[in-house]
């Protein structure tokens, strides 16, 4: 059911991109945007993991360099019936983690130095299990594609806004239709794209929590980890974090700068709700 929901939302997002192209450039614009969506998917499939790891200056570690972490990932990957992913460490005092990669055979788990110092062993295992769940369900690729498409829609909206300011594309014979199309492109489309992106992201986080609890065998440890990571995220902003990649982390590293009124546009469900679900899972 969750996979079906994600598929439908991704199809809706792609359709929105095509509609924006049609509103802004007619039939040729719609065709062009459809080709753009194919290009985004291709580029994201092959290069998204390399780009994000470089953006955070993540360094790959070996069993010799980080034996405890490497062995933990290895054991949990075996529990999840996954190939061993590459293991990376990010130099940051803020505890957090993310996974990336186009498929389970080409995946990576990255953790910050802060999370290794802050969490207990069982809690860190819960976090790693959560990230392995993302890999198993190919959430890492899905979230990158969705974010890329939503970003293109926002970029087109900005272009349309400047075109409207300078009077480009006005047609006296079709003024009403042109105005409606412009309003759709500038206002409605980017908000709708963001809402769809956030809905997909929140849905995948809930599933990763549940599956992560199963993989590590201790949902309460993952719940405790989320509580600690959320505390740091709300009281300190991760220096390297960007809005474009915040959705990848187990807790949004920019949540401290987000107002409560913006929860509708949050990339992650409320941490309190996630913890409550994990506690219910543990009782079951």
The pLDDT value recorded for residue 173 is 47
**Residue 168, SS3 per DSSP:** coil
Please state the pTM of the whole predicted model.
Answer: 0.77
Burial of 155 (0-12, 13-18, 19+ CB in 10 A): exposed
- Alpha-carbon distance of 13 to 203, in angstroms, equals 15
- What pLDDT is recorded for position 128? 98
pLDDT of residue 153: 75
Sign of the dihedral through C-alpha 179, 261, 224, 120? positive
Beta strands in 91-247 (DSSP E): 97-103, 106-112
pLDDT tens across the length of the chain (284 residues): 555 555 665 666 667 776 776 666 666 766 676 677 667 666 666 777 888 999 999 999 999 999 999 999 999 999 999 999 999 999 999 999 999 988 899 999 999 999 999 999 999 999 999 999 999 988 877 776 777 677 777 777 777 776 666 665 445 444 545 666 667 767 777 777 777 777 777 888 999 999 999 999 999 999 999 999 999 999 988 988 888 788 889 999 987 655 544 555 677 899 999 999 999 999 98
Distances (CA, A) of 32 to 37, 38, 226: 9, 10, 42
**CA torsion, ordered 229, 231, 233, 236, to nearest 10 deg:** -130
Give catalytic residue positions.
Answer: 131
Helix, strand, or coil here: 239?
coil
């Amino acid at each position: 059911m969750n996979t079906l929901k994600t598929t439908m939302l991704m199809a809706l997002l792609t359709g929105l991109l095509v509609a924006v192209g049609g509103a802004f450039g007619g039939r040729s614009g719609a065709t062009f945007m459809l080709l753009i969506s194919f290009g985004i998917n291709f580029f994201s499939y092959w290069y998204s993991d390399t780009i994000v790891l470089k953006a955070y200056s993540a360094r790959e570690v070996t069993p010799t360099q980080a034996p405890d972490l490497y062995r933990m990932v290895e054991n949990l990957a075996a529990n999840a019936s996954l190939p061993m992913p590459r293991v990376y460490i990010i130099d940051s005092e803020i505890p957090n983690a993310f996974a990336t990669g186009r498929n389970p055979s080409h995946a990576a788990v990255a953790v910050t130095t802060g999370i290794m110092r802050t969490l207990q062993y069982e809690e860190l295992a819960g976090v790693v299990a959560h990230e392995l769940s993302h890999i198993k369900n190919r959430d890492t690729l899905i979230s990158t594609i969705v974010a890329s498409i939503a970003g293109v829609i926002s970029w087109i909206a900005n272009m349309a806004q400047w075109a409207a300011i300078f009077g480009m594309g006005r047609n006296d014979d079709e003024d009403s239709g042109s105005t409606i199309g412009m309003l759709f492109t500038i206002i409605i489309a980017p908000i709708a794209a963001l809402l769809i992106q956030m809905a997909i992201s929140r849905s995948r986080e809930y599933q990763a929590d549940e599956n992560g609890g199963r993989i590590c065998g201790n949902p309460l440890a993952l719940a405790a980890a989320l509580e600690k990571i959320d505390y740091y995220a709300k009281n300190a902003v991760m220096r390297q974090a960007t809005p474009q990649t915040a959705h990848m982390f187990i807790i949004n590293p920019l949540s401290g700068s987000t107002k409560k009124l913006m929860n509708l546009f949050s990339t992650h469900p409320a941490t309190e709700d996630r913890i409550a679900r994990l506690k219910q899972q543990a009782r079951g």
